[in-house]
Amino acid sequence: MAEHRPSASIEAVESGLAAQGYIASRQIATAVYLAQQIEKPILVEGPAGVGKTELAKAIAAWRGLKMIRLQCYEGLDEAKALYEWKYAKQLLYTQILKDKLGEVLGGAATLHAALDQLHDFGDVFFSKEFVEPRPLLQALEQTAGCVLLIDEIDKSDAEFESLLLEILSDFQVTIPELGTIVAVAAPTVILTSNSERDLGDALKRRCLHLHIGFPEQKLEERIVESRVPGISQTLRKQMVGFIHEIRTLDLKKLPSVSETIDWARVLVLLQATELGHEMVKDTLNVLLKYEADIEAAQPQVSTFIAKASRQGVFG
């Protein structure tokens, strides 16, 4: 499991992720493979709940790496994402070292001489000891490499994006007082976005751009199979078919893969073997998150179940 070197082929990526319970489409596997081969971050876009964050977790688990997660939000800045000076510690040390300072400077007769001696002293207080590493810096410091997940980058401000550019292109950070810190081992970087805000071109061009949409029926069945092992085959086929029908409706929030999995779990809990009209109506709130959506879907339920069962027979 603890395999650090880049995987040999796209198939290896696919099976490796599958072993962690993440069923990847060909596109996703190709992206992960390329990201390792040419050392580029992946920018993952797509609707909520299709497994963008899961992808990062799966890669970390598969390659036995530590995952460092940075959740973005409006107002996130350098001090919270990259590094900060430990002001309090600096202050405390100056207090403690006051007497020592007196000793050092004691020999100096004039202000000039004292200043010269201070210069020889160097910038003790702006050294690595006093830097508090935040997620991004932590990721660069991992000697074994890591998976860095920058989650929901679209929630952050445009300024923060610019801050990321240096890390994304060269895996390094410049701290004015210390100089440039280069990654020990290049981390695998995954950025996720729900496209709430258009990201800058500079950011996009540093990344591989992967769009994860709703999976195809076959793929989704495999995902359910790996995530909810106890589910019967007919039920699986029917429920995935049903969800695909639901997605054709014009809803406020379409059910995504995470809802599919939740629903599968619920159905297993209720010990269902087949999709029944009543049961679907009772559990529709697992799939749909808006009252208006549930109302819109209710009258269609019977037809969808019928369609899904027919597919189950012939498909």
Partner 1 sequence: MRENLHHFFRAARGAGVRLSPAESIDAMRAVAKVGFSDRTILRDTFLLTLAKSQDEKKALGDCFDLFFNQPEPSQAAPDDGDADDSESGAETTESGSDSDAGSDAAQDLGPLAQMLLSQDRNEIAAAIANASSAASLSDIRYFTQRGIFSGRILDAMGIQRLRDDLDDLTATNPALAERLAAALDGLRDTVREAVSQALMLYGREEAENLRNEILRNAPLSRIEPRQVEQMRHLIRQIARRLRERYSKPRKRQRRGHLDVRRTLRRNAAWGSVPFLTAWKRKHRDKPKIVALCDVSGSVARVSDFFLLLIHSLHEVVSDVRSFAFSGHLIEVSDILEAKSPEEAMAEIMAKVGFGSSDYGGSLADFEKQWMSAVTPQTTVIVLGDARSNNLDPRADILRRIGERSKRLVWLNPEGRMAWGWGDSEMPRYSTFCTVVRQCATAQQLERAVSDIVATYQ
Nearer to partner 1, 27 or 303 (CB): 27
168 binds partner 1 (CB under 8 A): no
Give yes or no for residue 3 binding partner 1 (CB under 8 A). Answer: no
Tokens of 235: 């039920």
Burial (Cβ within 10 Å: 0-12, 13-18, ≥19) of residue 28? buried
CB 190, min distance to partner 1, A:
13
Of residues 123, 132, 198, 291, which one binds partner 1 by CB under 8 A?
198
The token pair that represents 314 in the structure block: 């012939």
CA 182/CA 171 separation, integer angstroms: 6
Cβ neighbours of 213 (radius 10 Å): 12
Residue from 1, 8, 38, 313 binding partner 1 (CB under 8 A): 38
d(CA 117, CA 83): 30
- 162 contacts partner 1 (rule: CB under 8 A): no
Nearer CB in complex with partner 1: 53/193: 193
CA pair distance 7, 212, nearest whole angstrom: 22
Shortest distance, position 34 Cβ to partner 1, whole Å: 5
Measured from the Cβ of residue 45, the count of other Cβ atoms closer than 10 Å reads 20
Residues with Cβ within 8 Å of 301's Cβ and at least 6 positions away in sequence, in order, are: 277, 280, 281, 284
Q: Is 87 in the site for partner 1 (CB under 8 A)?
A: yes
Residues forming a β-bridge with 84: 132
Count of positions on this chain that bind partner 1 (CB under 8 A)? 26
The reply to whether 48 sits near partner 1 by the rule CB under 8 A is: no
- Residue 69 β-bridge partners: 149
30 binds partner 1 (CB under 8 A): yes
Give the integer Cα–Cα distance in Å for 130 and 237. Answer: 57
Query: Which residue in the set 19, 64, 91, 230 belongs to the binding site for partner 1 (CB under 8 A)?
Result: 91
| Structure tokens, 103 | 């000793």
Which range of residues in 96-104, 130-138, 194-202, 239-247 is near partner 1 by CB under 8 A?
A: 194-202
- Cβ closest to partner 1, residue 65 vs residue 203: 203
Query: In this chain, which of 158, 182, 249, 270 binds partner 1, going by CB under 8 A?
Result: 158
Site for partner 1 in 202-221 (CB under 8 A): 204-205, 208-211
**Residues of the shown chain interacting with partner 1 in the complex, contacts defined by CB under 8 A:** 10, 26-27, 30-31, 33-34, 37-38, 40, 45, 87-88, 91, 157-159, 197-198, 201, 204-205, 208-211
